[in-house]
Structure 1
Amino acid sequence: MSAPTYPRPRPATRGRIDIRLPWWALALPTLAFIVLLALILNPTDAQAAAGDPAVTRLFEHIQQLTGL
């Protein structure tokens, strides 16, 4: 025996869509981007920094250009 389902009432809008994001919906991806960018720009802090020397030189050059 199935229970009856009722449609959800739609909120009253004034002709526009109102979407609100919680603060962490923008803060967490921004924080993750900054942390990953810092790891890329400073490869000497990484454990597996023994990669291709050309890539390492490129990251060092980018780091010098940005002044970090």
Structure 2
Amino acid sequence: MSACTQTRPHPATPGRVDIRLPWWALVLPALAFVSLLLLILNPSDAHAATGEPAVTHLIERVQQLIAR
């Protein structure tokens, strides 16, 4: 018994790749790159959080436990 094979609606063209990206796939990485570049060029705009973060305390505790 033979099985039916489905054919492509458009014939494949050798040597040509047809890839279309949505607009956000190009805009979001470019926006992230520009914002990080601006932070590097002007680091005074990047304000540190006030107070001591809990992550720093956790890392210090882990380092102390490993050092023992």
Q: What TM-score comes out, normalization by structure 1 length?
A: 0.49
Q: TM-score, normalised by structure 2?
A: 0.49
Instruction: Tell me: higher relative CO, structure 1 or 2? Use CA pairs within 8 A at least 6 residues apart.
Output: 1
